[in-house]
Amino acid sequence: MTSRPKLLVTRRLPDAVTKRLMAGYEAEMNPDDHVMSAEELLGKAAGKDALLVTPVDKITPELVAKLPASIKMIATFSVGFEHINTDALKQRGIKASNTPDVLTDATADIALLLMLGAARRAYEGERAVREATWKSWSTTYMLGVHMTGKRLGVFGMGRIGQAVAKRARAFDMTIHYYNRSRLKPELEQGAIYHASAEDMLPHCDFLSINAPGGPETLHWLNAERIARMPDGAIVVNTARGGLVDDNALIAALKSGKLFAAGLDVFENEPNLNPAYRDLSNVFLLPHLGSATIDTRNAMGFKALDNLDAFFAGRPLIDPIA
């Protein structure tokens, strides 16, 4: 009987994914779901053939250099892979994969939830009901911003950005977008292309951030770019927290330059800037973009598809290194 590949799984996985994984691999799991330190990960990697990691596992050049020679493959349970130094993996000859195409709809849904939640002051409203501070209906009580018919700017018109735009059209929103390259007309669906993000920002009653993270987009939304947006605009981020300069966004929310923000991702999460917690005009979620049963199962199965392909000697389905 051929021995099964030995796999280290750094975080707890959905039940359906775990069931399939255990049928095909000799896996060391993480039943209490704690975040492993680099030292613990390296220790547990000894004797393993592959790693199944998540975005909280930082696969740095230093860690890659210390990985045992037995490690030949790393699958990440994520679409983004900025937590993985792919150059270091290539130097070691270690293959890697991600899980694209399976979380587009779930993340776009969250973006619309954030837009509505921020525009209609959902956090303040729910708190008033729960804390019994709501005393009476009033013509001027907790007035929000109308979303229908407004202008939505999309920074990053990839799969998720296009899915956000598709949903926003149901609200009769006019779509503006910036992308590294212009989309074909059949993908634009009437959206207005801007050759620079700076040109797009004055047209953004709402701004949805959907670009990849990394050094090129670090703190992309800064004070200068916020200043180019219309007064009373709303910012939504479902991409990566690092795209936003927290101090600039918080200042704009406090000053009233921006009406509100909806955030599902944060720099250094879960240790977000504590000033956000003191603002009533920011709608906060704990990185729930892909957090549906269907999507997380699909992500896990995608990771296993890539591992299966590697150990069967086939090309990776979703290679990143």
Cβ-contact 238, 262 below 8 angstroms? no
Which residues are designated catalytic? 240, 269, 287
Cα–Cα dist 199/283, whole Å: 27
**To which residue do tokens 């000859």 refer?**
93
Amino acid at 88: A
Q: Which runs of consecutive H residues, i.e. helices, occur in the chain?
A: 15-24, 38-45, 61-66, 86-92, 104-119, 122-130, 159-169, 185-188, 197-200, 223-227, 246-255, 293-311
**Residues 2-29, buried b or exposed e (16+ Cβ, 10 A)?**
eeebbbbbbbebbeebeebbeeebebeb
